[in-house]
Amino acid sequence: MTLIYLDNAATTQIDPEVISLITKVMADGPLNASSLHSCGRIARNYLELATDQIGRCLNSKMDEPGGARLVFTGSGTEANNLVIRGMCKKNPLIISRIEHPSVIGVGQWLERTGQKVHWLEVDSIGRVSTEHLESLLQSDTNLSSLVSIMWANNETGVLQPIDRISELCRKYNAKLHVDATQCVGKIPIDLEKISLTSMSFTGHKFHGPAGVGGVWLSGGETLDPIMYGGEQQLETRPGTEPVALIAGMAFALEIACERIPETLVQCSNLRDRLENCLKEMFPDIVIQGSKTSRLPGTSCISFLGADRQSMLMALDLEGVSCSSGSACSSGSSPPSHVLHAMRRSKSEINSAIRFAVSRFSTLSEIESAVEKISKVYRRLKK
């Protein structure tokens, strides 16, 4: 049976070109950028090259004294934790109810320690309420708030109004962290045109390696570390940098950004083909967030009358890989907190399946997936 991989919001196939680069970097010898000898200089050169590559992809100058910088981490989850714990301090934190578990989890932890945390509401299609955000920012004008909002939702693909959110944060002197792990490398991002304090990303979401991520920090911003014991990365994130993985992530992002124009069209067409075919056969299914802007390749569909976990297992047996929510909670498969925050019905929440295509997906895979999904749904709905 040929595998049809439609879980690209969880992780992506690593690009063969990226594998070749990582292999080459590893073959260059023991690479510790803190070493003073020639191997250390080679490692530092790789890190500087990777920083420049990522900066160009995000349209951010990385070589200006006191300007923007990158902090490399082990994942997007670590990146979000580092920013929120390292920047929030004692000031109020504002996060939405549809954030990734790595943001919600640290928000809940801060609440337990006595930190003031405000939970931002979303509408029925999954967009953050900017009116609610402004009212929260107005209520805490005596303190500088930290706002953390994801650019694109990991379950529905819905894009948030980051431009408007950025305007409000500037107006009320709040810091803005954006979790961009789902959209970096998938949609154009220009950090010269939008005012952010920080932004997180991770390589395995855009056909790079797992085990490496990063934080983009605007000029003049600092983070308190959450780990200690080393002077790497200005003591912000101690530990020997994984040079080969960082180089691979930067190269993967460069490839992804160069191909964004064609990938946007390809993934949008494949997603629409999947949704339209299923909707034509089953008019009662609900496509979450379809009435607003979404990532080109992500689709969250509620198959009313079927159980999401039963569908997942049945589709897996048919060779279709998909998920029922965040990859960080897929092992236990709890009901979607995102759809709950959107106030969707219990039947929609309990039957929601997420599909996500990539530039490696094909039309023939989508056609085959539609056939398999429809067969499974008909059987389970009975």
- pLDDT at 369 exceeding the cut of 60: yes
Catalytically active residues are 328
Can 4-12+260-381 and 16-258 be said to share one CATH topology?
Answer: no
Residue 326: per-residue pLDDT: 57
- Catalogue the long-range contacts made by 78-81 (C-beta closer than 8 Å, 24 or more residues apart): 78/213, 79/181, 79/200, 79/201, 79/202, 79/213, 79/214, 79/215, 80/106, 80/148, 80/177, 80/179, 80/200, 81/106, 81/226
Domain spans of the chain, in order of start? 4-12+260-381, 16-258
The pLDDT tens digits for 100-159 are 999 999 999 999 999 999 999 999 999 999 999 999 999 876 567 999 999 999 999 999
User: Over the stretch 222-257, which tens digit does the pLDDT of each residue have?
Assistant: 999 888 888 788 778 888 899 999 999 999 999 999
**pTM, full prediction:** 0.94
pLDDT tens-digit map of 153-204: 999 999 999 999 999 999 999 999 999 999 999 999 999 999 999 999 999 9
**Structure confidence by residue, pLDDT tens digits, 51-66:** 999 999 999 999 888 8
Q: Which two tokens stand for residue 210?
A: 């797992």
Q: Tell me how far apart the alpha carbons of residues 177 and 79 are, in angstroms, rounded to a whole number.
A: 11
CB contact at 8 A, 151 and 164: no
**Distances in whole angstroms, Cα of residue 73 to Cα of each of 173, 215, 225, 241, 303:** 27, 7, 12, 8, 37
Which of the listed CATH numbers 3.90.1150.10, 3.40.50.1580, 3.20.20.70, 3.30.470.10 matches domain 4-12+260-381? Answer: 3.90.1150.10
Q: Which of 174, 166, 160, 169 lies closest to 100, judged by CA? A: 160
Distance of alpha carbon 365 from alpha carbon 361, whole angstroms: 7
More reliable by pLDDT, 33 or 209: 209
Residues 6 or more apart in contact with residue 148 via CB below 8 angstroms: 80, 83, 84, 93, 94, 95, 99, 103, 107, 176, 177, 178, 179
**DSSP annotation of 165:** H
**Per DSSP, what are the bridge partners of residue 301?**
287, 353
CATH assignment, 16-258: 3.40.640.10
- Confidence category of residue 90, pLDDT binned at 50, 70, 90: confident
The position carrying tokens 């070493």 is 35
Entry field: residues in the chain: 382
Question: Each residue of 247-301: pLDDT tens digit?
Answer: 999 999 999 999 999 999 999 999 999 999 999 999 999 999 999 999 999 999 9
